[in-house]
Amino acid sequence: MERRDFLKKAGIGAAAAVAATAVKAPAVLAQKKYKWKMVTTWPSGLPVLQTGCERLAKLVGELSGGRLTIDVYAGGELVPPLGIFDAVSNGTVEMGSGASYYWAGKTPAAQWFAAVPFGMNAQGMSAWFHGGDGLKLWEETYAPFNLIPRPGGSTGVQMGGWFNKKINSIEDFKGLKMRIPGLGGKVLAKAGATVVLTPGGEIFTSLERGVIDATEWVGPLHDNRMGFYQAAKYYYYPGWHEPGTYLEYFFNKKAYESLPKDLQAILDAACMDNEIWCLAQFDAQNGAALVELITKHKVQLLEFPDSVMDALRKLSKEVVAEEAAKDAQSKKVAAAFEAFQNQVGPWFTISEKAYYDKIFGKYSLKG
Ligand code: CA
């Protein structure tokens, strides 16, 4: 077909298309654009945790065609790291990201949605949130604060921590000065340790100067970056205190509810997308970081003895019961958590665990 003929034939259609555009254009232009702020508890540039928030913001912008844009602020850039709960609750900003155990002082029940010593791992937590009553209970727990929570991904099982003396029995925790937050810290305090909450940026110096004897952080990827191998000899596993720590996103209720339904759905979908991405990063990168710690930095990898794990499990049960007794919501959430763990546990034992035992056996990554 000649170009001239084509244009002639296309003429009517093109004119109609222009007319349609002209009719539609005002409706498109009238679509309101939303500009949100997200504040986080994470240091600027922290891999996976902070970079994941930035990834989520980018995704929401793309999925919404720019109708919802989110500017992300790391901890301290707009509000202090532990000020984000209040900032989103009172509507100063629309969205936050942290880990729910930071808010134990606001509502003790929040702790069960992040990490419970000897509780569920990442797979169990995900099943609880998306297949059980976990997310519903979380929403209920945050509702009095005008907040709507969403699971933000898991770190997987964390590491047990960095020590300069061997932990051969539960008695070895007596008098030990260790940086360990949350319920795990309460457990070690019961074991006789002096528990401190050194901020992230000061842990290395404290450990190096002997202000603290031991610390936990996250896992090989993040611990390697912190350089703890220069200040401690022994790297213990497993992270009984944080078996599958879940991170969170939360929205100011009024801000979320003022969005059109499609933008609410985009936000929800982006959170779930990032939830999968987050655990994938930890799973993909922790192994290589651990090998580097052992081979390059000559770290000695040690497993907590069974007797220590048994004693810690017993103390953890006491701590969890004490926390659950703090108010009605904590009691309700703790009971639901335990019931769900008992429901999925036996199945995981004959599926995941049995399979792991067969394919990996007892690992030999000793330093
Ligand atoms: Ca930790």
> In angstroms, what is the span from residue 217 Cα to ligand 1's centroid?
4
pLDDT tens column, 274-286 = 999 999 999 999 9
Partners of 179 in beta bridges = 196, 215
- Bridge partners (DSSP) of residue 214 are 178
pLDDT at 25 over 90: no
Instruction: State the pLDDT at residue 86.
Output: 98
Among 89, 52, 88, 71, which Cα is nearest to 270's?
A: 52
Mean of the pLDDT values across residues 273-302? 97
Three-class DSSP category at 211: coil
User: Cα(327) to centroid of ligand 1, in Å?
Assistant: 25
The pLDDT of 239-262, averaged and rounded, is 98
Domain locations along the chain:
33-153+245-283, 161-243+290-340
Question: What separation in Å is there between the alpha carbon of 215 and the centre of ligand 1?
Answer: 9
Ligand 1 midpoint to CA 274 (Å): 20
pLDDT exceeds cutoff 60 at 94? yes
Instruction: Say how many Å lie between the CA of residue 87 and the centre of ligand 1.
Output: 24
Q: How far is the CA of 68 from the centre of ligand 1 (A)?
A: 33
- CB distance 154 to 125 below 8 Å: yes
CB-based burial of residue 304 (10 Å sphere; 0-12 exposed, 13-18 middle, 19+ buried)?
Answer: buried
**Cβ distance 274 to 59 under 8 Å?**
yes
pTM: 0.89
Residues 6 or more apart whose Cβ sits within 8 Å of residue 246: 99, 100, 113, 114, 115, 122, 125, 129, 151, 152, 153, 154
- Of the candidates 7, 79, 1, the residue with the CA atom closest to the CA atom of residue 42: 79
Distance 295 CA to ligand 1 centre (A): 23
CA of 46 from ligand 1 middle (Å) equals: 14
Only one residue has tokens 């933000």, namely: 152
Rounded to the nearest angstrom, the distance between the alpha carbon of 58 and the centre of ligand 1 is 27
Token couple for 204: 């290395």
Question: According to the model, what pLDDT value does residue 360 have?
Answer: 76
Task: Tell me what pLDDT residue 359 has.
Answer: 83
At residue 15 the predicted structure's pLDDT band, cuts being 50, 70 and 90, is very low
pLDDT at residue 198, as a whole number: 83
Closest CA to 43 of 202, 151, 278: 202
| DSSP 8-state assignment for residue 113 | G
Q: Which CATH class is domain 161-243+290-340?
A: alpha beta
Q: H or E element: which one contains 53?
A: helix 49-63
Contact 129, 137 (CB under 8 A): no
- What six digits make up the tokens of 229? 């191998």
pLDDT in tens, 147-194: 999 999 999 999 999 999 999 999 999 999 999 988 999 999 999 999
Q: Rounded distance, CA 274 to CA 152, Å?
A: 7
Mean per-residue pLDDT, 304-309: 98
Out of 92-96, 102-106, 197-201, 243-247, which region has the weakest mean confidence (pLDDT)?
197-201
Q: How far is the CA of 27 from the centre of ligand 1 (A)?
A: 49
d(CA 240, CA 165): 19
What is the structure's pLDDT at 28? 55
266 CB-side CA count, 13 A: 21
Q: What is the pLDDT of residue 367?
A: 45
Tell me how far the alpha carbon of residue 320 lies from the centroid of ligand 1, in angstroms.
17
Q: What is the pLDDT of residues 110-148, one digit of tens each?
A: 999 999 999 999 999 999 999 999 999 999 999 999 999
Least confident of 22-31, 171-180, 255-264, 303-312: 22-31
C-alpha of residue 32 to centroid of ligand 1, in Å: 41
| Residue 236 in this model has a pLDDT that exceeds 50 | yes
The answer for residues whose C-beta is within 8 angstroms of residue 269's C-beta and 6 or more apart is 63
- Residues 292-316 have a mean pLDDT of 97
Within this chain, domains 33-153+245-283 and 161-243+290-340 share the same CATH topology? yes
In the reported structure, the alpha carbon of residue 218 is separated from the centroid of ligand 1 by a whole-number distance in angstroms of 4
Q: 298 vs 184, 208, 282, 302, CA distance in Å?
A: 27, 17, 22, 13
Q: How confident is the model at residue 29 (pLDDT cuts 50, 70, 90)?
A: low
Average pLDDT score over the chain: 92
Between the CA of 115 and the centroid of ligand 1 the distance, in Å, is 9
CA angle 220, 224, 230 (to 5 degrees): 130
In CATH terms, 33-153+245-283 corresponds, of 1.10.10.10, 3.90.1570.10, 1.20.1630.10, 3.40.190.170, to: 3.40.190.170
Percentage of the residues of the chain whose pLDDT score is greater than 90:
86
Distances in Å between the Cα of 14 and the Cα atoms of 9, 19, 69, 202, 291 are: 9, 9, 33, 66, 63
Residue 282 CA to ligand 1 centre (angstroms)? 13
**pLDDT greater than 70 at residue 5:** no
Cβ atoms within 10 Å, residue 301 = 18
Q: How far is the CA of 88 from the centre of ligand 1 (A)?
A: 24
Sign of the Cα torsion 74, 77, 79, 80 reads positive
| 50 CA from centroid of ligand 1 (Å) | 16
97: enclosing H helix or E strand: strand 95-98
Check residue 361 and give its pLDDT.
66
* Confidence check: pLDDT of 59 > 70: yes
More confident residue, 253 or 6: 253
| Both structure tokens of 193 | 């340790």
